Every structure is written in C-alpha cells, then in structure tokens.
C-alpha cells in the first residue's frame, strides 16, 4: 500500500499541538491544559478557542502551552523530511483530568481522517488514563499528530515523563488505524478490530510473529474481513511494535471500554478470541445493561 500523500503528512504535522515546549501561562493546580499552535492567526485562534470551549480570559486559568514549528522540526526532523513537516504549527487541544474510572473520552472538531475511538485507542496505548480530550483545528485536517500533543500535555499535567517509544507506537497505531479504515471502508469496525487484537496481544503477551498473524486473521474473521497481505502486514507490524511495550491489558480495556462494548454490541464473540472473564467483566461493569444479552455469547468465559 502506498503511504499517505505528502498532503496528508503535512496535515499530520500541522496538527501537532504540544511537544516539549515551555509553559507560557499556568496555574499549577489547574485541571485543564490547553495547547495552541504558535502560527494561528487571530481569526484562527478565535475559531480554535471556540471549538475548545475556552475564552481568552479563561486561558489564565489553564496551563497554556505554545507550540512552534521549530518545536515540530526539533522533535520530528529525524522521522520526517522538512518539506513534509511544513512551516506552520496550527492546531490545538485541551486535556482535562477526570476522576478514576472515567476512562478516556475524545472529542474532535475539524478532524476528518481518524475517529474519536481511534484516538481513544491510541491514547490508552500511550498510557493516558481518565481524561477528557478535545482536539481542534481551524479547518478540516487529518488530526493524527494531535495525539502527541495530548500525551505531552497530559504528562505535564501529571508531572510524569512519557517515553518517546510510547508516543511513537501510539502515533503509529493512529496512522495504521486510519489507513486500514480506508481499506476496509468502516472506521468503527476498524477501531474495534485494532482494540481487540491489541488486547489479545497484551493479555497473552504475544511476541511471535506467526502467533500475532494468526490472531489478526482470527479477529478480522470475526469482523467479517479477510485481510490482504498488505493489510495483514500493516497490522502485524503495528502489533509487533506494541508487543514490546509491556502494555497493561487491564488498563487498555478500562480506558477504552466503549470500543469493546461497541464490538460486543455488534455481535463479536470476544471470549472465542481468548479474552478472559476478567476482561469481559470490566466491559460489562461499565455497561451493566448489556449483561443479559452478553451471557449467551460469553458462556464459556463465565463458566456457564
């Protein structure tokens, strides 16, 4: 498969929202961090703030991170050519910490390539927990690199350090999900497929390529797909990268439970894919009304 065009990758970089940049205005105990691209015009800034639900006056109550194009080149120059990174930093995000058990909830504004569920999947991979994230751009754009900014804003909020490898893997997941969705023609099924495969890889600690490949084929079959060699290699490559990260299977499902719930709603038998009763229980606990309908599917996992 051809990778996305230069135009896509320009969008990929332009929407980056917060690399390791200085905090320009902050309250140390603020629950929300706002990141703005340094190259927003006054009109674009007003548009983005409106989409984020933040006023200029309220910025003094948030932690405001300004991202420059120089920041983009400094942190991505070793990965992408300068002409692909581009010359302007535009898009923005807001990250709000929520109570334990809230999970990750993403809202997008003017993002037209990846879904909110894909963002939630990838942010869970990178280690985010219990946060509400709003991603906004001044005009429609792909949105993929916003994940980087969201994670780094989250890390500043919590005083933690996000490993570069985690951000790279999560970004790869977001891009792969978007590309696979284009192949399959169904974004929601794609985000569910990626989530379920990732969960199995994490729970079973799969590292062998053949085992991962077999798992991808089994899960794709549950969703009614037979992946081409190109599609299969793309997903397997991602999962091999994720398998080296020692992902917390319990955290994945608890932070992005709505994706698993949607998969079960659509009739996907997670138990037949090897997900254990504790995993399924976490999902059911988040949606107790589904229990009766799920028991017939998950009898073996629950011992029934």
Q: Is residue 115 part of a domain?
A: yes
Q: Is residue 199 part of a domain?
A: yes
Burial class (CB in 10 A: 0-12, 13-18, 19+), 269: middle
Beta carbons within 10 angstroms of residue 3's beta carbon: 9
Q: Is residue 90 part of a domain?
A: yes
Structure tokens, 174: 């977001």
Number of structural domains in the chain: 2
Angle between helices 277-286 and 257-265 (to 10 degrees): 90
Q: Is residue 181 part of a domain?
A: no
* pLDDT for residue 137: 87
Last residue of a domain, one of 96, 129, 164: 164
Beta carbons within 10 angstroms of residue 282's beta carbon: 17
Structure tokens, 211: 């085992």
Q: Is residue 80 part of a domain?
A: yes
Contact 54, 62 (CB under 8 A): yes
Structure tokens, 144: 């993929």
Structure tokens, 71: 């920041």
Q: Is residue 49 part of a domain?
A: yes
Encode burial over 127-152: b for 16+ CB neighbours within 10 A, e otherwise.
bbbbbbbbbbbbeebbbbbbbbbbbb
Contact 200, 206 (CB under 8 A): yes
* pLDDT for residue 30: 44
* pLDDT for residue 76: 56
Element (H, E) at 156: helix 146-158
Same domain, 138 and 193: no
Same domain, 19 and 109: yes
Same domain, 110 and 256: no
* pLDDT for residue 11: 40
Domain with 97 in it: 7-164
The ranges of the chain with pLDDT < 70 are: 1-30, 61, 71-81, 83-85, 91, 142-146, 148, 276-284, 286-304
pLDDT digits (tens, 9 = 90+) for 251-303: 998 899 889 888 888 888 888 787 766 666 666 676 554 434 433 433 433 34
Of residues 127, 123, 184, the one with CA closest to residue 160: 127
80 Cβ neighbours under 8 A, 6+ residues apart: 9, 13
CA-to-CA distance for 295 and 293, rounded, in angstroms?
A: 6
CA-to-CA distance for 35 and 18, rounded, in angstroms?
A: 6
Q: Is residue 263 part of a domain?
A: yes
DSSP secondary structure of 35-75: EEETT--HHHHHHHHHHHT--TGGGGGSEEEEE-HHHHHHH
Same domain, 159 and 190: no
Q: Is residue 299 part of a domain?
A: no
Same domain, 81 and 50: yes
Beta carbons within 10 angstroms of residue 291's beta carbon: 13
300 Cβ neighbours under 8 A, 6+ residues apart: 271, 272
Last residue of a domain, one of 129, 164, 199: 164
């Amino acid at each position: 498969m051809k990778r996305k065009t230069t135009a896509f990758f320009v969008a990929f970089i332009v929407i980056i929202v917060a690399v390791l940049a200085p905090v320009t205005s902050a309250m140390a105990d603020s629950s929300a961090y706002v990141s703005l691209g340094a190259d927003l015009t006054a009109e674009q800034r007003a548009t983005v703030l409106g989409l984020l639900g933040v006023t200029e006056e309220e910025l003094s109550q948030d932690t405001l991170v300004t991202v420059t194009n120089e920041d983009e080149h400094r942190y991505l120059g070793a990965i992408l050519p300068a002409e692909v990174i581009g010359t302007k930093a535009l898009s923005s995000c807001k990250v709000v910490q929520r109570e334990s058990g809230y999970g990750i909830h993403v809202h997008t504004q003017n993002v037209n390539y990846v879904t909110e569920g894909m963002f939630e999947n990838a942010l869970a991979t990178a280690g985010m927990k219990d946060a509400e994230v709003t991603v906004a751009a001044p005009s429609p754009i792909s949105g993929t690199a916003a994940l980087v900014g969201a994670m780094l804003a989250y890390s500043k909020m919590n005083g933690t350090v996000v490993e570069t490898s985690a951000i790279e893997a999560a970004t790869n997941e977001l891009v792969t999900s978007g590309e696979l969705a284009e192949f399959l023609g169904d974004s929601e099924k794609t985000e569910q497929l990626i989530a379920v495969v990732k969960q199995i890889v994490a729970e079973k600690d799969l590292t062998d390529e053949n085992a991962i490949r077999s798992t991808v084929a089994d899960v794709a079959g549950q969703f009614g797909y037979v992946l081409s060699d190109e599609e299969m290699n793309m997903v397997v490559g991602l999962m091999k990268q994720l398998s080296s990260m020692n992902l917390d299977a319990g955290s994945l499902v608890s932070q992005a439970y709505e994706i698993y719930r949607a998969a079960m709603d659509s009739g996907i038998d997670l138990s037949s894919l090897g997900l254990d009763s504790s995993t399924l229980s976490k999902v059911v606990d988040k949606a107790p009304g589904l229990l009766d309908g799920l028991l017939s599917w998950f009898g073996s996992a629950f011992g029934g």
